[in-house]
Amino acid sequence: MSATETSLSARRVLVTGASGMLGGAVAQLLRAQGHHVRTFQRRASAGAVDEVQGSLTDQKAVEQAVGSMDAVIHLAAKVSFTGHWQEFVDTNITGTSNLLKAARNAGIKDFVFVSSPSVAHFGDSLAGAAAGTANPQLAHGNYARSKAAAELDALAADSADFRVAAIRPHVVWGPGDTQLVERVIQRAKAGRLPLLDHGAALIDTTYIDNAAAAIVRGLERMDHAHGRTLVVTNGEPRPVGELMAGICRAGGAPAPKLNLPGWMARGAGSVIEKIWLAAGSRGLVHDEPPMTRFLAEQLSTAHWFDQRETHEVLDWKPAVGIDEGLRRLSAHYSKDRA
């Protein structure tokens, strides 16, 4: 990291979605590095000093959020395995478009769009893959489809005067994670956590500290990163069953033992998703479904990525390994049980 890059400590950075685990970690890291951080999200975030609450679909609120900022890191999104398409359009596509427009009009120079490798994962195994091009027509699930469309819009806005980079952290987890870790542990304790194809699929994941550091590094390295799409992982592919067993141990839950064929789970997931969506429309369920086709694909197909371009462009490598991350996760749950 050069002296020029470390001198970027006085910037005014808007972070959307700071009430989430990753957004909160990004905001915290930026503050620790001396940046002035403003957050923008629907609900209050802990410890925020400069905060704007509102929706990405409210153009006036978005314009208020970007006012006087130098840069934007955009993490806010509707993240779910199920839900009606229009809900994803409103937040992930229209919301991103509103933010891009407001940021350009406000004279903001740098915009980091936080995306997902799922925008270029079309159901086949990915082994040592490059980032790939986002494709809303081929991506699976409404979340991935909407994020793919938003990523394409964001990168299309990249120019010398308005620099945009897309950073795709893959399967982010760590202490305080309710999206992956808590669901794995709670379902394991209830005996409802199956392995698909014996949990043999090799997958990359990203410890929370590494994901936050890479996103902030993308802003610092915008000279090199703008116009690019970079997948971020720990670079330590593990069998999905091994990773889930480690998370279960950390949370005091039994490792999953039930095994299902991947093809069966994918078929069942398609049916369950439709039933869950219909029931949710009638107000009968509020949680995520136990299985969807997208989730079954993620649990039964390899998805790990070549990290050489990411390390070169960002001049960065992850600092916290998977085993150390699991140790920290175990310490987190041990503290809760004490």
Catalytic residue list: 143
Tokens of 102: 């407001």
State the Cα–Cα distance between residues 142 and 83, nearest whole angstrom. Answer: 7
Give the separation between CA 16 and CA 39, rounded to whole angstroms.
6
Instruction: Answer yes or no: are the C-beta atoms of 116 and 179 closer than 8 Å.
Output: no
